[in-house]
Amino acid sequence: MQECDAALRFGTPSGGGAPDSYVPALDGVRAVSILLVIVSHLGLDHVVPGAFGVTLFFFISGYLITRQLIGALALRGRIDLARFYARRVLRLMPAASVFVFAAGAAYLALGGHLTSAAWLAALFYGANYFDLWSGYHSTLPAVRHPFNILWSLAIEEHFYAVWPLALGVLWRRHAALWAVLALCAAVLAWRFWLLDACFQPGLHPGVPALCGPSNPNPLWRFNRLYLATDARLDSLGWGVALALLEQRGRMPPRWLAWPAAALMAASFIGAGPLARDVLRPTLQGVALLAGMPVLLVGQGSLARILAARPCVFVGRLSYSLYLWHWGALMLADALCPPRFGAAWLMVGASLSVILALGSFFLVETPMLALRRRFGSSVK
């Protein structure tokens, strides 16, 4: 749930296509993503697809970060890795670190217990694999663990760590697009293999070193397909593919928006692990690849709604909202049981907004000047 340095610029870095201009609808898309996540966590997960909100975030992140890297390659012929990683650290670590320490301290004050490994995994972007192999299991009855929410940030950071290096090599060989499409296909095949190898009848996975410990909880049993970087990297990859197509001047035509919408609707059919955890990320990634250009360059009513100021502001606040709504709901769990009751909803929703605004204005905004020293274009 992150804003990339090039998040608000759109065009074709190497010539042709749309002019390089600010597109508020991108922030609007981010607003839709975070609202899907939060509303699902407020008790409407049976009707609101919060998981799709995360997939949408991944897609946007892959697209935006690749555009930034392509711009550097087009301008200088190389990627300045030191400056790139400095911008990522300055963008992500301050808010995340404040959240981890504050939410962790609140959890301890409520009587919970946190191991050193749990702290380290949360601070250094290993939360997804830690949760799979060790588990962020709350020691407080009916109170969520403060670090569960960090799994998606870990996936994005793993992508940021590797992709600039890979793109630099693939760019020189003119093989980036085909390599990314092959990666997306390989990840889909890998999910098929994991489903077959790890989730046969019974609770014991077939290959413990790859599958992780068995989980008898039916709600969490298939998280190996949902939380792990190796099983979700294609959700970022489809966004990368869109940026590479844009660079070639071959953005998907606008008429594909309707088939893309139909494919997106079809992706929600089926509730079993094959449909939900194996096929759905791929179907949604392809649908976003085909349909997103309409929102980026279109003038339709949906694009105008996404570009409205309230949507833009919520989109800019999305990183803080993603972090702090989980901490707010943890406090609501402890202070206002039962979960999903009226008092719980009021306290959780109110605290989510208050804490996110505080993080945005007191932690993220002061970092802008320092980020610009390393080449950030965010204003």
Q: What is the pLDDT along the chain (379 residues), one digit of tens a residue?
A: 655 543 434 444 333 333 344 568 889 999 999 999 999 999 999 899 999 999 999 999 999 999 989 988 988 888 999 999 999 999 999 999 999 999 999 999 999 999 999 999 999 999 999 999 998 999 999 999 999 999 999 999 999 999 999 999 999 888 999 999 999 999 999 999 999 888 876 555 567 778 888 777 777 889 999 999 999 999 999 999 999 999 998 999 989 999 999 999 999 998 889 999 999 999 999 999 999 988 877 677 888 899 899 999 999 999 999 999 999 999 999 999 999 999 999 999 999 999 999 999 999 999 988 888 877 776 6
Alpha helix ranges (H) inside 199-337: 208-211, 229-247, 257-267, 273, 280-297, 301-306, 309-316, 318-335
Quick check: 358 and 134 in contact, CB under 8 A?
no
Q: Rounded to an integer, what distance in angstroms lies between the CA atom of residue 83 and that of residue 152?
A: 24
Q: Rounded to an integer, what distance in angstroms lies between the CA atom of residue 354 and that of residue 102?
A: 14
Q: Rounded to an integer, what distance in angstroms lies between the CA atom of residue 379 and that of residue 369?
A: 9
Number of other residues whose CB lies within 10 A of the CB of residue 304: 14
> Which residues neighbour 234 within 8 Å (Cβ) at sequence distance 6 or greater?
183, 184, 187, 188, 281, 282, 285
C-alpha neighbours within 13 Å on the C-beta side of residue 371: 22
pLDDT at 7: 41
Chain position carrying tokens 């919970």: 112
Count how many residues are written for the chain: 379
pLDDT at 19: 31
pLDDT at 371: 82
Nearest Cα residue to 39 out of 25, 53, 26: 53
Quick check: 320 and 364 in contact, CB under 8 A?
yes
| H or E element that contains 140 | none
DSSP 253: P
Quick check: 98 and 278 in contact, CB under 8 A?
no
Q: Rounded to an integer, what distance in angstroms lies between the CA atom of residue 160 and that of residue 4?
A: 11
Q: Does this model's pTM top 0.85? A: yes
| Residue 252, phi then psi, degrees to nearest 5 | -55, 135
pLDDT at 141: 94
Tokens for 173? Answer: 């060989």
Quick check: 328 and 352 in contact, CB under 8 A?
yes
